Structure 1
């Protein structure tokens, strides 16, 4: 009998070891499943929830700006009518719509357009504040434009951001914007689909500026800051961009998708300006 005791003890130890191993494997499996679920939730949050929240917020902001501008236009018309200078007032000429005025030519660059300092436009908007609406019919984009390119205050809210120290809408120089390509509303998801001749409009409280797309730089370094210059051109890809002053629009986003390694750049040029109020029968002067 005494000779059988060690055998029984060894079997008990083996049983306990197997039980501990099974429990460990089960715990590891539970941990892996939990981590997998968390990863899936994170992906869903980034790819679906942030888009939904940002798009809804951006749409509300666009509607708020449009209401604000409509109230301002109504107040302006009422004041003009009271002063006898409204569309219905006798001025010696009919108050009919006019064709959109053409953008200033090269010889006029720097003289100022409606909405420029030379035309007495308002001060620059506050940081992170939405003050314009960008519309790109080709890719179905209608999105607010805010001052600055910070993530929390601008880009992650589904807005596009105006690069500081670049021109304002309609000004001589380069009006440059940035937007997310993926997540948080991804307004520039399909920016690569824009082609020469596509129309882009920027509307502010003062005017509507129409730009026409002319050039695309499919990929350049994130440090290629020359694409944001007053005369935009690439310092990485010689020959890509412009060589003379003008009224430019630059749209930038990350590329390839789901990375931030490079930048995709689209350039356009100002084609026309419509001063707010022209739609009511008074053309831009």
Structure 2
């Protein structure tokens, strides 16, 4: 008897190989989808959940400071409030701003004598509250600009070595524009004449926005100098001593390539 050609066997082999290839492609597609979902969840956590957590914790810290001041504790900074006990707050929500009513500005900073500088607060601890009525923003201020210890908590951080609130020199602050509470997200909306109010242990210092630098490099240290003036764009800034406030944040949004700068001068305290 003649041997038969194994046609059926060869066809079965091809089908098996095709089935194996389909299986590999399917597994790769499933892996791609899974990785995509994980990345999406990480983005949601970073952009949305960290914002809610940090903003809520920052508002709790503001309330802790205000309670301590109302209770007569004016000796120094207040320890951080425990997080997670308050309702989440969206940044820039006017309903929770607690912003002061606008008053009549006093004389320009250059024509008055600011209060003497207070003793610097403990590092990384919240000691003041910044209020920006136009933005409906209320945020605690801590000494230092460490990301984990200060900025990622949704606080504004004071650059080390800069002046204390109400004092001669430059009270310079940094804050996140995106993620972790993003307190400075909308400072690009500020205009000349807007108030920046700083409360410290029962004292209130009111600054008025004077100038805005839309973009400079991250190494432009002149913007936080005692007399703030850009080293990159020398026509931006001030030339006379005074009592200044500086707000800095990243720009453009979701990027840390450049810095956005807002300057103000003290009008009352």
State the TM bucket, normalised to the shorter chain: 0.7 to 0.9
Q: 1:266 aligned to 2:249? A: no
Deviation by residue 1:189-242 (Cα, 9 ceiling, x = unmatched): 111000000001000015110000000000001111110100001111121000
2:98 alignment partner in structure 1: none
2:93 alignment partner in structure 1: none
Contact 2:193–2:210 (8 Å) recurs in 1: yes
Deviation by residue 1:130-152 (Cα, 9 ceiling, x = unmatched): 00000001111100000101111
SS state at 1:138 partner: helix
* Structure 1: runs of 5+ lacking an equivalent: 75-98, 274-285
Length, aligned pairs only = 240
Q: 1:173 aligned to 2:186? A: no
Distance 1:215 1:125 in 2: 28
Q: 1:231 aligned to 2:227? A: yes
TM (normalized to structure 2)? 0.84
Distance 1:136 1:105 in 2: 19
Distance 1:138 1:194 in 2: 7
1:161 alignment partner in structure 2: 157
Distance 2:104 2:133 in 1: 19
**1:3: Cα distance to partner?**
3.5
Contact 1:100–1:272 (8 Å) recurs in 2: no
Distance 2:111 2:249 in 1: 32
1:10 alignment partner in structure 2: 10
Deviation by residue 1:45-66 (Cα, 9 ceiling, x = unmatched): 1121001000110010000000
SS state at 1:174 partner: strand
Structure (1/2) with the larger helix percentage: 1
2:110 alignment partner in structure 1: 106
The structure that has the greater radius of gyration is 1
Q: 1:134 aligned to 2:138? A: no
Of 195, 199, 209 in structure 2, the residue corresponding to residue 199 of structure 1 is: 195
**Runs of at least 4 residues of structure 1 off by over 3 A?**
99-109
Contact 2:158–2:171 (8 Å) recurs in 1: yes
* Structure 2: runs of 5+ lacking an equivalent: 75-102
